[in-house]
Chain A
Protein backbone atom coordinates (compact mmCIF):
# COMPACT_ATOMS: atom_id res chain seq x y z
CA UNK A 1 0.00 0.00 0.00
CA UNK A 2 1.33 3.44 -0.95
CA UNK A 3 2.39 5.72 1.89
CA UNK A 4 0.12 8.63 0.94
CA UNK A 5 0.91 10.62 4.07
CA UNK A 6 4.62 10.61 3.36
CA UNK A 7 4.00 11.48 -0.28
CA UNK A 8 2.06 14.54 0.84
CA UNK A 9 4.40 15.82 3.53
CA UNK A 10 7.54 14.98 5.42
CA UNK A 11 6.16 16.65 8.54
CA UNK A 12 4.39 14.59 11.15
CA UNK A 13 1.12 15.91 12.48
CA UNK A 14 2.74 16.69 15.82
CA UNK A 15 5.64 18.69 14.37
CA UNK A 16 3.34 20.56 11.99
CA UNK A 17 1.12 21.53 14.92
CA UNK A 18 4.12 22.67 16.98
CA UNK A 19 5.48 24.77 14.11
CA UNK A 20 2.06 26.34 13.56
CA UNK A 21 1.86 27.17 17.26
CA UNK A 22 5.26 28.82 16.92
CA UNK A 23 4.01 30.89 13.98
CA UNK A 24 1.38 32.20 16.35
CA UNK A 25 3.96 32.94 19.05
CA UNK A 26 6.10 34.89 16.58
CA UNK A 27 3.09 36.82 15.29
CA UNK A 28 2.11 37.63 18.85
CA UNK A 29 5.65 38.77 19.66
CA UNK A 30 5.68 40.97 16.57
CA UNK A 31 2.45 42.65 17.65
CA UNK A 32 3.61 43.08 21.26
CA UNK A 33 6.82 44.74 20.05
CA UNK A 34 4.75 47.06 17.91
CA UNK A 35 2.64 47.97 20.95
CA UNK A 36 5.86 48.62 22.88
CA UNK A 37 7.09 50.84 20.06
CA UNK A 38 3.88 52.83 20.23
CA UNK A 39 4.11 53.19 24.02
CA UNK A 40 7.73 54.39 23.79
CA UNK A 41 6.82 56.84 21.07
CA UNK A 42 3.92 58.24 23.13
CA UNK A 43 6.21 58.71 26.10
CA UNK A 44 9.07 60.42 24.30
CA UNK A 45 11.49 57.51 23.94
CA UNK A 46 12.09 57.84 20.21
CA UNK A 47 15.12 55.58 19.93
CA UNK A 48 13.46 52.77 21.84
CA UNK A 49 10.37 53.19 19.68
CA UNK A 50 12.51 52.63 16.58
CA UNK A 51 14.27 49.72 18.26
CA UNK A 52 10.99 47.96 19.08
CA UNK A 53 9.63 48.62 15.63
CA UNK A 54 12.70 46.94 14.18
CA UNK A 55 12.24 44.03 16.58
CA UNK A 56 8.63 43.74 15.49
CA UNK A 57 9.76 43.41 11.88
CA UNK A 58 12.28 40.73 12.81
CA UNK A 59 9.65 38.68 14.62
CA UNK A 60 7.45 38.87 11.56
CA UNK A 61 10.34 37.66 9.41
CA UNK A 62 10.79 34.73 11.79
CA UNK A 63 7.10 33.97 11.46
CA UNK A 64 7.35 34.00 7.67
CA UNK A 65 10.40 31.75 7.77
CA UNK A 66 8.40 29.17 9.74
CA UNK A 67 5.41 29.71 7.48
CA UNK A 68 7.46 29.07 4.35
CA UNK A 69 9.10 25.98 5.84
CA UNK A 70 5.81 24.29 6.69
CA UNK A 71 4.44 24.90 3.21
CA UNK A 72 7.69 23.86 1.54
CA UNK A 73 7.55 20.55 3.40
CA UNK A 74 4.05 19.89 2.14
CA UNK A 75 2.34 20.90 5.34
CA UNK A 76 -0.47 23.37 6.02
CA UNK A 77 0.83 26.67 7.37
CA UNK A 78 -1.90 28.48 9.25
CA UNK A 79 -2.20 32.25 9.22
CA UNK A 80 -2.43 33.05 12.93
CA UNK A 81 -5.08 34.88 14.87
CA UNK A 82 -3.42 37.43 17.12
CA UNK A 83 -5.33 38.67 20.15
CA UNK A 84 -4.71 40.05 23.65
CA UNK A 85 -1.93 42.46 22.81
CA UNK A 86 -1.14 44.70 25.81
CA UNK A 87 -1.16 48.37 24.79
CA UNK A 88 -0.18 49.89 28.13
CA UNK A 89 2.91 49.31 30.25
CA UNK A 90 3.68 50.23 33.83
CA UNK A 91 6.93 52.05 33.10
CA UNK A 92 9.85 52.39 30.67
CA UNK A 93 11.66 49.67 32.59
CA UNK A 94 8.58 47.39 32.53
CA UNK A 95 8.59 47.53 28.74
CA UNK A 96 12.08 46.06 28.63
CA UNK A 97 11.27 43.50 31.32
CA UNK A 98 8.31 42.31 29.27
CA UNK A 99 10.52 42.17 26.17
CA UNK A 100 13.05 39.95 27.95
CA UNK A 101 10.33 37.68 29.34
CA UNK A 102 8.93 37.35 25.86
CA UNK A 103 12.29 36.35 24.41
CA UNK A 104 12.80 33.79 27.18
CA UNK A 105 9.41 32.31 26.36
CA UNK A 106 10.29 32.11 22.66
CA UNK A 107 13.55 30.34 23.50
CA UNK A 108 11.68 27.83 25.66
CA UNK A 109 9.28 27.14 22.81
CA UNK A 110 12.12 26.53 20.34
CA UNK A 111 13.85 24.25 22.82
CA UNK A 112 10.63 22.31 23.13
CA UNK A 113 10.26 22.03 19.36
CA UNK A 114 13.88 20.92 18.96
CA UNK A 115 13.32 18.28 21.64
CA UNK A 116 10.19 16.98 19.90
CA UNK A 117 11.90 16.97 16.47
CA UNK A 118 14.76 14.96 17.93
CA UNK A 119 12.44 12.48 19.60
CA UNK A 120 10.40 12.11 16.42
CA UNK A 121 13.67 11.64 14.46
CA UNK A 122 12.62 14.53 12.22
CA UNK A 123 16.13 15.77 11.57
CA UNK A 124 15.18 18.06 8.70
CA UNK A 125 12.99 20.13 11.00
CA UNK A 126 15.60 19.78 13.75
CA UNK A 127 18.19 21.27 11.41
CA UNK A 128 15.78 24.06 10.44
CA UNK A 129 15.17 24.94 14.10
CA UNK A 130 18.92 25.36 14.75
CA UNK A 131 18.84 28.74 13.01
CA UNK A 132 16.20 30.00 15.43
CA UNK A 133 18.05 28.70 18.47
CA UNK A 134 21.16 30.57 17.35
CA UNK A 135 19.05 33.66 16.77
CA UNK A 136 17.63 33.41 20.29
CA UNK A 137 21.12 33.71 21.79
CA UNK A 138 21.33 37.15 20.23
CA UNK A 139 17.74 38.11 21.01
CA UNK A 140 18.05 37.23 24.68
CA UNK A 141 21.44 38.92 24.96
CA UNK A 142 20.16 42.18 23.53
CA UNK A 143 17.00 42.15 25.66
CA UNK A 144 19.01 41.42 28.81
CA UNK A 145 21.63 44.08 28.05
CA UNK A 146 18.90 46.66 27.47
CA UNK A 147 17.40 45.89 30.85
CA UNK A 148 20.81 46.08 32.50
CA UNK A 149 21.16 49.66 31.27
CA UNK A 150 18.56 50.62 33.86
CA UNK A 151 20.88 49.46 36.66
CA UNK A 152 24.10 50.67 35.05
CA UNK A 153 22.91 54.16 34.12
CA UNK A 154 20.11 54.60 36.65
CA UNK A 155 16.75 56.18 36.00
CA UNK A 156 17.23 59.35 38.04
CA UNK A 157 17.63 62.75 36.41
CA UNK A 158 18.37 62.33 32.71
CA UNK A 159 18.90 58.57 33.21
CA UNK A 160 15.97 57.44 31.10
CA UNK A 161 16.97 59.83 28.32
CA UNK A 162 20.47 58.33 28.36
CA UNK A 163 19.10 54.77 28.41
CA UNK A 164 16.93 55.56 25.40
CA UNK A 165 20.04 56.85 23.62
CA UNK A 166 22.03 53.69 24.37
CA UNK A 167 19.39 51.08 23.49
CA UNK A 168 19.93 51.10 19.67
CA UNK A 169 23.69 50.75 20.19
CA UNK A 170 23.47 47.32 21.81
CA UNK A 171 25.07 44.78 19.49
CA UNK A 172 25.81 41.10 19.84
CA UNK A 173 29.29 40.57 18.41
CA UNK A 174 29.78 36.78 18.59
Chain B
Protein backbone atom coordinates (compact mmCIF):
# COMPACT_ATOMS: atom_id res chain seq x y z
CA UNK B 1 0.00 0.00 0.00
CA UNK B 2 1.34 3.45 -0.90
CA UNK B 3 2.01 6.07 1.73
CA UNK B 4 -1.16 8.05 2.48
CA UNK B 5 -1.16 11.39 0.70
CA UNK B 6 -0.75 13.87 3.54
CA UNK B 7 2.20 16.14 4.00
CA UNK B 8 1.99 15.92 7.78
CA UNK B 9 2.58 12.18 7.80
CA UNK B 10 6.08 10.92 8.38
CA UNK B 11 6.99 7.31 7.96
CA UNK B 12 8.44 5.88 11.17
CA UNK B 13 8.96 2.26 10.31
CA UNK B 14 8.13 -0.11 7.50
CA UNK B 15 8.28 -3.85 6.99
CA UNK B 16 7.09 -5.89 3.99
CA UNK B 17 3.82 -6.34 5.91
CA UNK B 18 2.95 -2.79 6.87
CA UNK B 19 4.05 0.61 8.06
CA UNK B 20 3.64 3.09 10.89
CA UNK B 21 3.36 6.82 10.26
CA UNK B 22 3.28 9.78 12.58
CA UNK B 23 0.91 12.64 11.96
CA UNK B 24 2.44 15.84 13.34
CA UNK B 25 -0.77 17.77 12.84
CA UNK B 26 -3.13 15.52 14.77
CA UNK B 27 -0.44 14.15 17.11
CA UNK B 28 -1.31 10.57 16.33
CA UNK B 29 0.06 7.46 14.67
CA UNK B 30 -1.30 5.72 11.61
CA UNK B 31 -0.93 1.99 11.41
CA UNK B 32 -1.03 0.39 7.99
CA UNK B 33 -1.43 -3.35 8.23
CA UNK B 34 -3.20 -6.16 6.37
CA UNK B 35 -4.75 -3.87 3.78
CA UNK B 36 -6.14 -1.30 6.20
CA UNK B 37 -4.93 1.91 7.76
CA UNK B 38 -6.11 3.36 11.05
CA UNK B 39 -5.19 6.16 13.43
CA UNK B 40 -4.24 5.75 17.07
CA UNK B 41 -3.46 8.26 19.76
CA UNK B 42 -0.02 7.80 21.30
CA UNK B 43 -1.34 6.07 24.42
CA UNK B 44 -3.65 3.80 22.42
CA UNK B 45 -0.84 2.94 20.06
CA UNK B 46 1.40 1.89 22.96
CA UNK B 47 -1.46 -0.06 24.47
CA UNK B 48 -2.02 -1.90 21.20
CA UNK B 49 1.67 -2.78 21.09
CA UNK B 50 1.41 -4.16 24.61
CA UNK B 51 -1.69 -6.17 23.72
CA UNK B 52 0.04 -7.70 20.69
CA UNK B 53 3.11 -8.53 22.78
CA UNK B 54 0.94 -10.26 25.38
CA UNK B 55 -0.53 -12.71 22.88
CA UNK B 56 0.66 -16.19 23.79
CA UNK B 57 2.06 -17.36 20.44
CA UNK B 58 3.41 -20.75 21.68
CA UNK B 59 -0.07 -21.50 23.05
CA UNK B 60 -1.63 -20.60 19.67
CA UNK B 61 0.75 -22.99 17.95
CA UNK B 62 0.39 -25.86 20.41
CA UNK B 63 -3.35 -25.68 20.98
CA UNK B 64 -5.11 -27.86 18.41
CA UNK B 65 -8.52 -26.24 18.91
CA UNK B 66 -9.63 -24.31 15.83
CA UNK B 67 -10.48 -21.24 17.87
CA UNK B 68 -6.85 -21.08 19.03
CA UNK B 69 -5.66 -20.36 15.48
CA UNK B 70 -6.74 -16.74 15.54
CA UNK B 71 -6.76 -13.83 17.96
CA UNK B 72 -9.19 -10.94 17.69
CA UNK B 73 -8.17 -7.52 18.92
CA UNK B 74 -10.67 -4.68 19.22
CA UNK B 75 -8.66 -1.60 20.13
CA UNK B 76 -10.61 1.10 21.94
CA UNK B 77 -11.41 4.32 20.11
CA UNK B 78 -10.78 2.65 16.78
CA UNK B 79 -13.05 1.26 14.11
CA UNK B 80 -10.45 -1.31 13.26
CA UNK B 81 -10.77 -4.91 14.35
CA UNK B 82 -7.70 -7.09 13.96
CA UNK B 83 -8.25 -10.78 13.23
CA UNK B 84 -4.78 -12.22 13.51
CA UNK B 85 -3.29 -15.59 12.65
CA UNK B 86 0.02 -16.63 14.20
CA UNK B 87 1.91 -15.18 11.23
CA UNK B 88 -0.06 -11.94 11.47
CA UNK B 89 0.71 -11.67 15.18
CA UNK B 90 4.44 -12.05 14.52
CA UNK B 91 4.35 -9.58 11.63
CA UNK B 92 2.35 -7.01 13.58
CA UNK B 93 4.58 -7.45 16.59
CA UNK B 94 7.67 -6.85 14.46
CA UNK B 95 6.11 -3.74 12.95
CA UNK B 96 5.00 -2.22 16.27
CA UNK B 97 8.24 -3.04 18.06
CA UNK B 98 10.28 -1.59 15.21
CA UNK B 99 8.18 1.57 15.28
CA UNK B 100 8.65 1.84 19.05
CA UNK B 101 12.44 1.58 18.67
CA UNK B 102 12.36 4.39 16.11
CA UNK B 103 10.21 6.52 18.42
CA UNK B 104 12.61 5.91 21.28
CA UNK B 105 15.47 6.86 18.99
CA UNK B 106 13.64 10.06 18.12
CA UNK B 107 13.27 10.82 21.85
CA UNK B 108 17.00 10.26 22.35
CA UNK B 109 17.82 12.55 19.46
CA UNK B 110 15.57 15.20 20.97
CA UNK B 111 17.38 14.88 24.29
CA UNK B 112 20.80 15.15 22.65
CA UNK B 113 19.90 18.03 20.35
CA UNK B 114 18.26 19.95 23.16
CA UNK B 115 21.32 19.44 25.36
CA UNK B 116 23.51 20.77 22.55
CA UNK B 117 21.26 23.76 21.94
CA UNK B 118 21.21 24.91 25.56
Contact = CB atoms under 8 A, between A and B. Distances in A.
Interface of A: 1-9, 13, 76
B24 A7 contact: no
Nearest to A76: B43
B42 A8 contact: yes
Secondary structure call for the B interface:
helix
Interface of B: 10, 22, 24, 27-29, 42-43, 46-47, 100, 103-104, 106-107, 110
B24 A5 contact: no
Nearest to B109: A3
Q: Main SS of the interface on chain A? A: helix
Contacts of A13: 46, 100
Contacts of B29: 4
Chain A CB within 10 A, most for which of B27, B28, B42: B42
Nearest to A3: B110
A1 B42 CA distance: 14
A3 B106 contact: yes
Contact of B24 (A2, A6, A8, A9): A2
B107 A5 contact: yes
B27 A5 contact: no
B22 A2 contact: yes
